[in-house]
Structure 1
Amino acid sequence: MIQTIAAAVIWILVLCLLPGVRTRKDHSILIAAVAIATALALNIDPIYLAGDAALGGRNLLDLCANILMVVGIYFLSQAILRAAEFNDASFRRDRLGLVILWFVTGSLVIAFFSIQAPVSSTRFMVDYGGQPAAALYSAIQFVYIGMVVSVTGYVCFRFRRRMASFHFRLAFTLIGIGCLLALIVVFAVLGMDITHLLGDLSTMGKLAVVYDASFVGAMLFLCAGLALPPVARRISRRIELRTREGLLSSLTEIWEKATATRKDTRLATPAEGIKGGDVSTLKLHRMLVEIQDALLMDPSAADLLDEADRQTVTRTESFLASHHGGQEHRISPASWGRRHGESDR
């Protein structure tokens, strides 16, 4: 049940990441999510038994799942470190990290084939964990995971305040908590490996409870943190689009009234024929500038505007200012129009 819940949560994360796959340059998070989700899905009992039977019934599927898990953890860490701007071009060519990953993968293969596990088991470590080779096999995987999530969690907590937007700060906090819970998972697994070797099944059972709770918690927090930025961006874009369309409709009426006596200097194309966000924003800029120019040249035109019209103009100015807030050179809507719009009239 634990594996099923965790796999479902990760696959939901994959679905959240898929809509932006064409525009996203870095696909590390998606690769990580697919690898981890597949690894967890392979450990669901019916899938494991059917898949391992196809591979000869000697638990090779467990090895495949664990390799996918460490690969997924590696890509997950790289994506988060890049998002935190912790790593530069040298990290993008993370040769040391890749060497360690290959070493861990090779060690897992060697340790696995040293285990006497002739029959497929959905409880691999419970049935075969009493062997030193099995304990080593588990320890290699989880020590690596522990090291990676420790660094990742540290970076998330240290650099989360650098994030400009609230949803990124919250995402890094959630991921950091997920990494902390994942570290508890690592210690629980290592503890179970040791107590299994010592024959202390009572302590091993208690650690299993800790493992189950922390494992589900880690998956939930990590997935929530990773899904938050793309979901928040999509929601923000939809809100921005609706806001822009609403302002455009309202401002068009104001523009018609304010520039009624200046038709020779108005927009060359009608405001109704707008398609695409960028064109809409340019139209808002241009109409706002023409309204301001009309009021400047003919103060009596202000009598045509009521309080609701003035509030719409103010909202448009605020919207355009925030729309250009991330640009290197910030200019007011009015000055933008006069610099680039005057010559177009």
Structure 2
Amino acid sequence: MASTMMILAARQYLRSSGIQRLPAALLSLGSAFGGALCLAVLIMDVAHVTGHLDLMRAVQPAYEPLSLLAFLFLCAGFAAQPVVRRAQHDMRRKRTVGLATQLEPLWKRASLVRPGLSQADPLAASADDLESRLHREIVEIRDAMIDPRVTFDISAAERALLNRAESHLLGLDTRATRTTASPGGRVGQEGSS
């Protein structure tokens, strides 16, 4: 069982990046120490049964440190998983707030030339979900850009900001998800009506 967990944790380590590797690394180490502990117990049991008490006494000092190390690293690995997820969630939330705040002037300009759903339904604009708010801003800016009835031009810096916001919503702004998401996808190309 320790070897199975070690293989799974090592695979997770290889598939992860950055701080996401910490829980997998801790679990891999804990599993390795657990495997070594199992091996030590087997050697001591076989040595005891076969009468090789010198071998049993030679391996016995490894039992307690291996038990402690396996316990500590496994507990740390399991405890680190929710901590890392929470930290990533908080970082994503801060980035979402920052991007929405940076896009707001551009979104207000777009809303002046082409009013969107946010003007028709004030509840849609004041959504508590920050990612929904950012998505709505992106959709309404893109709608103003592609609507042939209005003229709405944006600078290269504004376009780069808009692309960063879209990449953020798609999860393409982190190395870990860059390989699984489809490149070139756009958020909100559908109309806002």
TM over 0.5: yes
Which position in structure 2 is the counterpart of 1:149? Answer: 2
Is it true that 1:318 corresponds to 2:157 in the alignment? no
Relative distance call for 1:286 and 1:187 in structure 2 (3 A) is closer
Which position in structure 2 is the counterpart of 1:332? Answer: 186
CA deviation after TM superposition for structure 1 residue 242, in Å:
1.4
Relative distance call for 1:284 and 1:149 in structure 2 (3 A) is same
Which position in structure 2 is the counterpart of 1:20? Answer: none
**Equivalent residues in 2 for 1:21-170, closer than 5 Å:** 148-157=1-10, 160=11, 165-166=16-17
Q: Deviations over 1:90-133 (max 9, x none)?
A: xxxxxxxxxxxxxxxxxxxxxxxxxxxxxxxxxxxxxxxxxxxx
Which position in structure 2 is the counterpart of 1:179? Answer: 31
Relative distance call for 1:291 and 1:226 in structure 2 (3 A) is same
CA deviation after TM superposition for structure 1 residue 306, in Å:
5.1
CA deviation after TM superposition for structure 1 residue 292, in Å:
2.0
TM-score (norm 1): 0.42
SS of 1:260 mapped into structure 2: helix
Which of residues 137, 158, 169 is equivalent to 1:309? Answer: 158
Relative distance call for 1:334 and 1:271 in structure 2 (3 A) is closer
Relative distance call for 1:331 and 1:290 in structure 2 (3 A) is same
Relative distance call for 1:228 and 1:163 in structure 2 (3 A) is farther
Residue type of the partner of 2:99?
L
The structure whose RCO (Cα within 8 Å, separation 6+) is larger is: 2
Q: Deviations over 1:77-99 (max 9, x none)?
A: xxxxxxxxxxxxxxxxxxxxxxx
8 Å Cα contact 2:126-2:133 kept in structure 1: no
Relative distance call for 1:247 and 1:150 in structure 2 (3 A) is closer
Structure 2: distance between partners of 1:260 and 1:175: 54
CA RMSD of aligned residues (A): 3.7
Residue type of the partner of 1:332?
R
8 Å Cα contact 1:259-1:291 kept in structure 2: yes
Relative distance call for 1:307 and 1:151 in structure 2 (3 A) is closer
Structure 2: distance between partners of 1:313 and 1:287: 10
Residue type of the partner of 2:126?
G
Which runs of no fewer than 5 residues in structure 1 stay unpaired?
A: 1-147
Which position in structure 2 is the counterpart of 1:286? Answer: 136
Which position in structure 2 is the counterpart of 1:230? Answer: 82
Is it true that 1:274 corresponds to 2:97 in the alignment? no
Structure 2: distance between partners of 1:195 and 1:289: 72
CA deviation after TM superposition for structure 1 residue 256, in Å:
0.7
Which runs of no fewer than 5 residues in structure 2 stay unpaired?
A: none
The structure whose Rg is larger is 1
Q: Deviations over 1:201-258 (max 9, x none)?
A: 7962x43432233222222332233233322221111111111122222222211123
Relative distance call for 1:313 and 1:271 in structure 2 (3 A) is farther
